[in-house]
Amino acid sequence: MNQVLINKAAQILWDAWDTGENISELPQDCRPTDRQSAYRIQRQVAKLSHSSQIGWKIAATSVNGQKHIGVSGPLAGRLLANRTKMSGDTIALGANLMGVAEAEFCFQLGKDLPPKNVAYSIEETLEAVDTLHTAIEIPDSRYKDFVTAGETHLIADNACANWFVLGPPTTVDWRSMNLRDHKVQAFVNGTMVEEGVGENVLGDPRIALTWIANELSNEGIGLKANEVITTGTCVLPFQIKPNDYIELEFGKIGQVSVTLS
């Protein structure tokens, strides 16, 4: 795709995001046909937002997440500063087609993981990590029927990014913990609605982190120091609505919460 068509697709997706009005599909001439063109559209959507980028999200790292958006594997998307809140904050939910929240392990990097010719190992990616955080993602799509949109269209749509809530860094020695079996519980208005474990995220949140390091390396993008990478939901995406209070319990690792107005 040439830059004119990249810009056309991005403008349509950004206008839908900005106005809250969903689209049926992109015009035939500017539909992404591969991941490279999809990530180029995604990058332009982020530019149109006039927001800085704080990091990356991974969509569909669990079987349930993949079923939720109709894809066979994970997708990377950008986390925007103006769509990010801190634990304890309030979010105006607004029009949200998906209407779900997700519980996620989130890593903040202490050094760059730039593009390179050979794949990153789990050990290499973990060496670049500074802190581990708890996080809530409240995704959404600009497509009316996001389940049938397809992987490249959803990548262009910033991998269904919408709101992101970052918890504080954990104070425990998380590197010595088994994140694969670590339990997470999701509460809405004080009632537990879902629970899961780190294994639901591509087998381990650390594997998910390594996946995005290699995905972005392959696209010539890379990860940068201070960026946060949220690794996908470890519980079944759970239903939310305005005026809900969401709290996620990660045991010794910590908590994260948000109120929806």
Domain boundaries, the chain: 53-260
Helix orientation angle between 35-48 and 3-19, rounded to the nearest 10 degrees: 50
Q: How far is CA 23 from CA 9, 16, 149, in A?
A: 12, 7, 11
Tokens 């029927």 identify what position? 145
pLDDT grade for 91, boundaries at 50, 70 and 90: very high
Half-sphere exposure of 238 (CA within 13 A, CB side): 22
163-214 pLDDT, tens digit each: 999 999 999 999 999 999 999 999 999 999 999 999 999 999 999 999 999 9
| 53-260: in CATH 3.60.10.10 | no
Which pLDDT tens digit goes with each residue over 26-43?
Answer: 999 999 999 999 999 999
Instruction: Tell me what pLDDT residue 224 has.
Output: 98
pLDDT of res. 68 = 81
pTM above 0.85, yes or no: yes
pLDDT tens-digit series, residues 58-78: 999 988 778 888 888 999 999
**pLDDT score, position 62:** 82
Conformation bin of residue 158: beta by default, left when phi > 0, alpha when psi is -120 to 50: left
Digit-coded pLDDT (tens) for 96-152: 999 999 999 999 999 999 999 999 999 999 999 999 999 999 999 999 999 999 999
